Amino acid sequence: MELDAKIYVAGHKGMVGSAVVRALKEKGYTRIVWRDSKELDLTQQSEVVDFFEKEQPDYVFLAAAKVGGIEANNSLRAEFLYENLMIQNNVIHQSYKYKVKKLLFFASSCIFPKYAPQPLKEDYLLTGALEPTNEPYAIAKIAGIKLCENYNRQYGCNFISVMPSNLYGPNDNYDLKHSHVLPALLRKFHEAKQGNLARVEVWGSGRPKREFLHVDDLAQASLHLMETYAGNVFVNIGTGEDLSIKALAELIQNIVGYKGEMIWNTDKPDGTPRKLLDVSLIHSLGWSHEMDLEEGIERVYREKFIDV
Ligand code: GFB
Protein backbone atom coordinates (compact mmCIF):
# COMPACT_ATOMS: atom_id res chain seq x y z
CA MET A 1 0.00 0.00 0.00
CA GLU A 2 1.38 3.37 -1.05
CA LEU A 3 1.66 5.83 1.86
CA ASP A 4 -0.62 8.30 0.06
CA ALA A 5 -3.24 5.67 -0.82
CA LYS A 6 -6.80 6.29 0.33
CA ILE A 7 -7.69 3.62 2.89
CA TYR A 8 -11.21 3.01 4.16
CA VAL A 9 -11.44 1.41 7.61
CA ALA A 10 -14.98 0.13 8.08
CA GLY A 11 -15.71 -0.17 11.81
CA HIS A 12 -13.08 2.38 12.93
CA LYS A 13 -14.65 2.84 16.37
CA GLY A 14 -14.63 -0.85 17.28
CA MET A 15 -11.77 -2.69 18.94
CA VAL A 16 -10.37 -4.08 15.66
CA GLY A 17 -11.00 -1.07 13.42
CA SER A 18 -9.53 1.41 15.91
CA ALA A 19 -6.41 -0.77 16.25
CA VAL A 20 -6.04 -0.81 12.45
CA VAL A 21 -6.33 3.00 12.36
CA ARG A 22 -3.64 3.32 15.09
CA ALA A 23 -1.32 0.97 13.20
CA LEU A 24 -1.86 2.78 9.89
CA LYS A 25 -1.17 6.17 11.47
CA GLU A 26 1.99 4.84 13.12
CA LYS A 27 3.25 3.68 9.72
CA GLY A 28 2.64 7.12 8.21
CA TYR A 29 -0.58 6.60 6.25
CA THR A 30 -2.41 9.90 6.07
CA ARG A 31 -5.46 9.39 3.85
CA ILE A 32 -7.52 7.17 6.11
CA VAL A 33 -11.28 7.53 5.74
CA TRP A 34 -14.09 6.36 7.96
CA ARG A 35 -17.69 7.14 8.85
CA ASP A 36 -19.66 6.87 12.07
CA SER A 37 -22.62 4.49 11.93
CA LYS A 38 -24.94 7.53 12.19
CA GLU A 39 -23.43 8.98 9.01
CA LEU A 40 -23.25 5.69 7.12
CA ASP A 41 -25.39 2.66 7.92
CA LEU A 42 -23.47 -0.21 6.32
CA THR A 43 -26.55 -2.44 6.30
CA GLN A 44 -28.13 -0.03 3.75
CA GLN A 45 -26.98 -0.71 0.21
CA SER A 46 -27.80 2.75 -1.18
CA GLU A 47 -25.81 4.50 1.56
CA VAL A 48 -22.81 2.26 0.90
CA VAL A 49 -23.04 2.94 -2.86
CA ASP A 50 -23.10 6.73 -2.21
CA PHE A 51 -20.10 6.44 0.11
CA PHE A 52 -17.99 4.49 -2.41
CA GLU A 53 -19.02 6.86 -5.22
CA LYS A 54 -17.87 9.85 -3.14
CA GLU A 55 -14.69 8.45 -1.55
CA GLN A 56 -13.44 5.88 -4.11
CA PRO A 57 -11.02 4.21 -1.66
CA ASP A 58 -7.93 2.35 -2.92
CA TYR A 59 -7.84 -0.12 -0.02
CA VAL A 60 -10.46 -1.38 2.43
CA PHE A 61 -10.17 -2.97 5.88
CA LEU A 62 -13.56 -4.53 6.64
CA ALA A 63 -13.69 -4.58 10.45
CA ALA A 64 -17.33 -3.46 10.78
CA ALA A 65 -19.47 -6.23 12.26
CA LYS A 66 -22.00 -7.03 14.91
CA VAL A 67 -19.91 -8.82 17.52
CA GLY A 68 -20.19 -10.04 21.09
CA GLY A 69 -19.55 -12.83 23.53
CA ILE A 70 -21.25 -16.17 23.90
CA GLU A 71 -24.49 -14.78 25.40
CA ALA A 72 -24.88 -12.05 22.76
CA ASN A 73 -24.24 -14.54 19.95
CA ASN A 74 -26.70 -17.00 21.42
CA SER A 75 -29.53 -14.56 22.10
CA LEU A 76 -29.27 -12.00 19.25
CA ARG A 77 -29.13 -14.80 16.70
CA ALA A 78 -31.17 -13.10 13.97
CA GLU A 79 -29.26 -9.80 14.20
CA PHE A 80 -25.88 -11.54 14.17
CA LEU A 81 -26.78 -13.31 10.93
CA TYR A 82 -28.72 -10.53 9.20
CA GLU A 83 -26.58 -7.49 10.06
CA ASN A 84 -23.28 -9.19 9.39
CA LEU A 85 -24.45 -10.51 6.02
CA MET A 86 -25.77 -7.09 5.02
CA ILE A 87 -22.65 -5.19 6.09
CA GLN A 88 -20.20 -7.51 4.39
CA ASN A 89 -22.30 -7.99 1.23
CA ASN A 90 -22.56 -4.23 0.78
CA VAL A 91 -18.91 -3.41 1.46
CA ILE A 92 -17.42 -6.33 -0.48
CA HIS A 93 -19.71 -5.86 -3.49
CA GLN A 94 -19.07 -2.10 -3.73
CA SER A 95 -15.34 -2.75 -3.32
CA TYR A 96 -15.61 -4.88 -6.44
CA LYS A 97 -17.76 -2.30 -8.27
CA TYR A 98 -15.48 0.61 -7.40
CA LYS A 99 -12.29 -1.34 -8.23
CA VAL A 100 -10.74 -1.32 -4.78
CA LYS A 101 -7.13 -2.55 -5.20
CA LYS A 102 -7.24 -4.78 -2.16
CA LEU A 103 -9.64 -5.57 0.67
CA LEU A 104 -9.03 -7.36 3.95
CA PHE A 105 -11.99 -9.05 5.64
CA PHE A 106 -11.89 -9.94 9.34
CA ALA A 107 -13.54 -13.30 10.07
CA SER A 108 -13.36 -15.26 13.36
CA SER A 109 -12.11 -18.59 14.68
CA CYS A 110 -15.69 -19.65 15.54
CA ILE A 111 -16.17 -20.51 11.84
CA PHE A 112 -14.37 -23.82 12.34
CA PRO A 113 -16.32 -27.01 13.11
CA LYS A 114 -17.02 -27.49 16.82
CA TYR A 115 -15.08 -30.77 17.02
CA ALA A 116 -12.36 -30.16 14.45
CA PRO A 117 -8.88 -31.54 15.28
CA GLN A 118 -6.60 -29.09 17.11
CA PRO A 119 -4.77 -26.95 16.23
CA LEU A 120 -7.17 -25.68 13.58
CA LYS A 121 -5.64 -25.59 10.13
CA GLU A 122 -7.12 -23.22 7.57
CA ASP A 123 -8.35 -26.13 5.43
CA TYR A 124 -10.61 -27.52 8.20
CA LEU A 125 -13.26 -24.99 7.15
CA LEU A 126 -16.60 -26.62 6.24
CA THR A 127 -15.58 -30.10 7.38
CA GLY A 128 -18.15 -30.46 10.18
CA ALA A 129 -21.05 -28.97 12.18
CA LEU A 130 -20.60 -25.59 13.89
CA GLU A 131 -20.85 -24.67 17.59
CA PRO A 132 -24.60 -23.95 18.09
CA THR A 133 -24.18 -20.85 20.33
CA ASN A 134 -22.47 -18.94 17.52
CA GLU A 135 -23.74 -20.66 14.40
CA PRO A 136 -25.46 -17.52 12.97
CA TYR A 137 -22.32 -15.40 13.36
CA ALA A 138 -20.11 -18.18 11.98
CA ILE A 139 -22.36 -18.66 8.94
CA ALA A 140 -22.21 -14.93 8.18
CA LYS A 141 -18.41 -14.94 8.48
CA ILE A 142 -18.10 -18.04 6.29
CA ALA A 143 -20.27 -16.27 3.69
CA GLY A 144 -17.91 -13.28 3.85
CA ILE A 145 -14.85 -15.45 3.28
CA LYS A 146 -16.56 -17.16 0.36
CA LEU A 147 -17.64 -13.81 -1.09
CA CYS A 148 -14.02 -12.61 -1.08
CA GLU A 149 -12.78 -15.89 -2.53
CA ASN A 150 -15.34 -15.92 -5.33
CA TYR A 151 -14.95 -12.27 -6.34
CA ASN A 152 -11.27 -13.14 -6.69
CA ARG A 153 -12.02 -16.25 -8.76
CA GLN A 154 -14.65 -14.72 -11.02
CA TYR A 155 -13.51 -11.11 -11.32
CA GLY A 156 -9.81 -11.18 -10.47
CA CYS A 157 -10.27 -9.08 -7.31
CA ASN A 158 -7.62 -9.05 -4.58
CA PHE A 159 -9.73 -9.65 -1.47
CA ILE A 160 -8.16 -11.52 1.44
CA SER A 161 -9.64 -12.87 4.69
CA VAL A 162 -8.05 -13.31 8.10
CA MET A 163 -9.10 -15.50 11.00
CA PRO A 164 -8.27 -13.98 14.37
CA SER A 165 -8.48 -15.93 17.63
CA ASN A 166 -10.34 -14.40 20.62
CA LEU A 167 -9.28 -10.76 20.86
CA TYR A 168 -8.81 -8.25 23.66
CA GLY A 169 -7.45 -4.72 23.90
CA PRO A 170 -8.45 -1.04 23.90
CA ASN A 171 -12.05 -0.19 22.98
CA ASP A 172 -13.35 -3.60 24.00
CA ASN A 173 -16.94 -4.03 25.18
CA TYR A 174 -17.30 -4.28 28.99
CA ASP A 175 -21.06 -4.80 29.11
CA LEU A 176 -21.46 -7.86 31.34
CA LYS A 177 -24.25 -9.41 29.33
CA HIS A 178 -22.85 -9.01 25.84
CA SER A 179 -19.07 -8.88 26.22
CA HIS A 180 -16.46 -11.60 25.77
CA VAL A 181 -14.97 -13.44 28.72
CA LEU A 182 -11.75 -11.47 29.17
CA PRO A 183 -13.24 -7.96 29.53
CA ALA A 184 -16.18 -9.40 31.53
CA LEU A 185 -13.85 -11.00 34.08
CA LEU A 186 -11.65 -7.91 34.35
CA ARG A 187 -14.70 -5.86 35.19
CA LYS A 188 -16.24 -8.44 37.53
CA PHE A 189 -13.06 -8.94 39.56
CA HIS A 190 -12.30 -5.21 39.63
CA GLU A 191 -15.77 -4.29 40.85
CA ALA A 192 -15.74 -7.12 43.39
CA LYS A 193 -12.41 -5.87 44.77
CA GLN A 194 -13.64 -2.27 44.91
CA GLY A 195 -16.87 -3.32 46.60
CA ASN A 196 -15.28 -5.91 48.93
CA LEU A 197 -17.57 -8.61 47.55
CA ALA A 198 -17.08 -12.16 48.83
CA ARG A 199 -17.57 -13.92 45.48
CA VAL A 200 -17.53 -13.45 41.73
CA GLU A 201 -19.69 -15.43 39.32
CA VAL A 202 -17.89 -16.98 36.37
CA TRP A 203 -19.84 -18.71 33.58
CA GLY A 204 -19.72 -22.33 32.50
CA SER A 205 -17.49 -25.13 33.76
CA GLY A 206 -14.13 -23.37 33.31
CA ARG A 207 -12.96 -26.30 31.17
CA PRO A 208 -13.16 -24.80 27.65
CA LYS A 209 -9.88 -23.51 26.29
CA ARG A 210 -9.38 -20.27 24.43
CA GLU A 211 -6.53 -18.53 22.65
CA PHE A 212 -6.26 -14.77 23.23
CA LEU A 213 -4.56 -12.25 20.96
CA HIS A 214 -3.98 -8.55 21.71
CA VAL A 215 -5.73 -6.49 19.05
CA ASP A 216 -2.57 -4.45 18.34
CA ASP A 217 -0.88 -7.70 17.30
CA LEU A 218 -3.84 -8.43 15.03
CA ALA A 219 -3.54 -4.96 13.47
CA GLN A 220 0.19 -5.47 12.80
CA ALA A 221 -0.49 -8.87 11.24
CA SER A 222 -3.25 -7.40 9.07
CA LEU A 223 -1.02 -4.62 7.73
CA HIS A 224 1.71 -7.16 7.08
CA LEU A 225 -0.70 -9.34 5.07
CA MET A 226 -2.14 -6.35 3.22
CA GLU A 227 1.39 -5.50 2.13
CA THR A 228 2.70 -9.00 1.39
CA TYR A 229 -0.05 -11.58 0.85
CA ALA A 230 -2.54 -12.34 -1.90
CA GLY A 231 -4.54 -15.53 -2.21
CA ASN A 232 -7.80 -17.35 -1.74
CA VAL A 233 -6.67 -19.18 1.38
CA PHE A 234 -7.67 -17.22 4.48
CA VAL A 235 -4.98 -16.80 7.13
CA ASN A 236 -5.24 -17.73 10.82
CA ILE A 237 -3.88 -15.04 13.16
CA GLY A 238 -3.19 -16.06 16.73
CA THR A 239 -0.52 -16.83 19.27
CA GLY A 240 -0.66 -20.63 18.86
CA GLU A 241 -1.16 -20.99 22.64
CA ASP A 242 -4.34 -21.38 24.65
CA LEU A 243 -5.42 -21.79 28.26
CA SER A 244 -8.54 -22.95 30.09
CA ILE A 245 -11.18 -20.42 31.17
CA LYS A 246 -10.38 -21.48 34.76
CA ALA A 247 -6.70 -20.60 34.24
CA LEU A 248 -7.69 -17.32 32.60
CA ALA A 249 -9.98 -16.46 35.52
CA GLU A 250 -7.18 -17.17 38.01
CA LEU A 251 -4.74 -15.07 36.01
CA ILE A 252 -7.17 -12.13 35.93
CA GLN A 253 -7.98 -12.57 39.62
CA ASN A 254 -4.26 -12.30 40.40
CA ILE A 255 -3.68 -9.30 38.14
CA VAL A 256 -6.60 -7.46 39.72
CA GLY A 257 -5.59 -8.61 43.21
CA TYR A 258 -9.02 -9.91 44.23
CA LYS A 259 -8.95 -12.17 47.28
CA GLY A 260 -12.53 -13.50 47.28
CA GLU A 261 -14.01 -16.69 45.90
CA MET A 262 -15.03 -17.73 42.37
CA ILE A 263 -18.42 -19.39 41.79
CA TRP A 264 -18.97 -21.30 38.55
CA ASN A 265 -22.45 -20.84 37.06
CA THR A 266 -22.88 -24.00 35.01
CA ASP A 267 -26.31 -22.90 33.78
CA LYS A 268 -24.38 -20.68 31.36
CA PRO A 269 -23.07 -22.32 28.18
CA ASP A 270 -19.46 -23.42 27.73
CA GLY A 271 -19.49 -22.95 23.98
CA THR A 272 -16.93 -24.71 21.87
CA PRO A 273 -14.54 -26.89 23.91
CA ARG A 274 -11.39 -25.61 22.20
CA LYS A 275 -10.40 -23.47 19.19
CA LEU A 276 -6.65 -23.26 19.05
CA LEU A 277 -5.43 -21.90 15.73
CA ASP A 278 -2.64 -23.46 13.71
CA VAL A 279 -0.45 -20.44 13.04
CA SER A 280 2.16 -22.07 10.82
CA LEU A 281 0.90 -20.28 7.69
CA ILE A 282 1.17 -16.77 9.16
CA HIS A 283 4.57 -17.66 10.67
CA SER A 284 5.77 -18.81 7.25
CA LEU A 285 4.56 -15.48 5.85
CA GLY A 286 6.93 -13.67 8.22
CA TRP A 287 4.74 -12.59 11.16
CA SER A 288 4.40 -13.76 14.74
CA HIS A 289 2.75 -12.16 17.76
CA GLU A 290 4.62 -9.96 20.25
CA MET A 291 2.34 -9.38 23.22
CA ASP A 292 2.52 -11.94 26.01
CA LEU A 293 -0.94 -12.66 27.51
CA GLU A 294 -0.16 -11.69 31.10
CA GLU A 295 1.54 -8.47 30.02
CA GLY A 296 -1.35 -7.72 27.65
CA ILE A 297 -4.01 -8.22 30.33
CA GLU A 298 -2.03 -6.08 32.81
CA ARG A 299 -1.81 -3.33 30.20
CA VAL A 300 -5.52 -3.45 29.37
CA TYR A 301 -6.43 -3.51 33.07
CA ARG A 302 -4.29 -0.43 33.76
CA GLU A 303 -5.65 1.45 30.74
CA LYS A 304 -9.29 0.71 31.49
CA PHE A 305 -9.53 0.70 35.28
CA ILE A 306 -6.43 2.24 36.89
CA ASP A 307 -4.96 5.10 34.80
CA VAL A 308 -8.31 6.79 34.27
O1 GFB B 1 -15.57 -15.01 25.32
P2 GFB B 1 -16.84 -15.77 25.24
O3 GFB B 1 -18.09 -15.02 25.53
O4 GFB B 1 -17.04 -16.39 23.81
O5 GFB B 1 -16.78 -17.01 26.26
P6 GFB B 1 -16.61 -17.69 22.98
C7 GFB B 1 -15.68 -17.85 26.34
C8 GFB B 1 -15.86 -18.82 27.50
O9 GFB B 1 -15.76 -18.09 28.74
C10 GFB B 1 -17.19 -19.57 27.57
C11 GFB B 1 -16.81 -18.46 29.60
O12 GFB B 1 -16.95 -20.90 27.96
C13 GFB B 1 -17.97 -18.82 28.64
O14 GFB B 1 -18.94 -19.61 29.29
N15 GFB B 1 -17.09 -17.36 30.54
C16 GFB B 1 -16.86 -17.41 31.88
C17 GFB B 1 -17.63 -16.16 30.27
N18 GFB B 1 -17.28 -16.29 32.47
C19 GFB B 1 -17.75 -15.48 31.49
C20 GFB B 1 -18.30 -14.17 31.51
O21 GFB B 1 -18.47 -13.51 32.53
N22 GFB B 1 -18.65 -13.65 30.28
C23 GFB B 1 -18.47 -14.35 29.12
N24 GFB B 1 -18.81 -13.76 27.96
N25 GFB B 1 -17.98 -15.60 29.10
C26 GFB B 1 -17.45 -16.14 21.10
C27 GFB B 1 -18.38 -16.42 19.94
O28 GFB B 1 -17.33 -17.39 21.63
O29 GFB B 1 -16.16 -15.72 20.76
C30 GFB B 1 -18.24 -15.44 18.87
O31 GFB B 1 -19.69 -16.54 20.45
C32 GFB B 1 -16.80 -15.10 18.53
O33 GFB B 1 -18.91 -15.90 17.75
C34 GFB B 1 -16.01 -14.79 19.75
O35 GFB B 1 -16.20 -16.16 17.81
C36 GFB B 1 -14.54 -14.58 19.45
O37 GFB B 1 -15.14 -17.78 22.79
O38 GFB B 1 -17.25 -18.92 23.54
Give me the CATH number covering residue 98. 3.40.50.720
Looking at the predicted structure, is the pLDDT value of residue 308 above 90?
no
Mean predicted confidence (pLDDT) in 87-95: 98
Q: pLDDT for 95-153, tens place per residue?
A: 999 999 999 999 998 999 999 999 999 999 999 999 999 999 999 999 999 999 999 99
Q: For ligand 1, what atom is nearest to the CA of residue 210?
A: 37
Neighbours of 121 (CB within 10 A): 16
As for ligand 1, residues whose beta carbon falls within 6 Å of it are 69-71, 73, 108, 110, 133-134, 137, 166, 179-181, 184-185, 202-204, 208, 210, 245, 268-271
Does 164 have pLDDT greater than 90? yes
What percent of the chain has a predicted confidence (pLDDT) above 70?
100
> What does DSSP assign to residue 306?
I
pLDDT at residue 235, as a whole number: 98
Q: Is 137 a catalytic residue?
A: yes
Mean pLDDT of 34-50: 97
In a domain, 231, yes or no: yes
Has residue 47 been placed in a domain? yes
In a domain, 108, yes or no: yes
Residue 182 lies in a domain: no
Please report whether residue 162 resides in a domain: yes
* Tens of pLDDT, residues 286-305: 999 999 999 999 999 999 99
Catalytic pick from 8, 29, 96, 137?
137
Q: Which of 175, 180, 185, 237 to mutate to test the pocket of ligand 1 (most atoms within 8 A of CB)?
A: 180
Kind and range of the H or E run holding 100: none
State the distance from the centre of ligand 1 to the C-alpha of 182, rounded, in angstroms.
8
Residue 112 included in any domain: yes
Residue 307's pLDDT is 86
| DSSP result, 175-227 | -TTTS-HHHHHHHHHHHHHHTT-SEEEEES-S--EE-EEEHHHHHHHHHHHHH
Q: What is the domain count for the chain?
A: 1
- pLDDT tens-digit profile of 173-224? 999 999 999 999 999 999 999 999 999 999 999 999 999 999 999 999 999 9
Q: What global pTM score does this model have?
A: 0.97
39 CA distance to ligand 1 centroid (A)?
31
Q: Is residue 227 part of a domain?
A: yes
Please give the Cα distance from 163 to 277 (Å, whole number). Answer: 9
Q: Is residue 16 part of a domain?
A: yes
**Atom number in ligand 1 closest to CA 68:** 30
Domain hosting 65: range is: 7-171+211-241+275-291
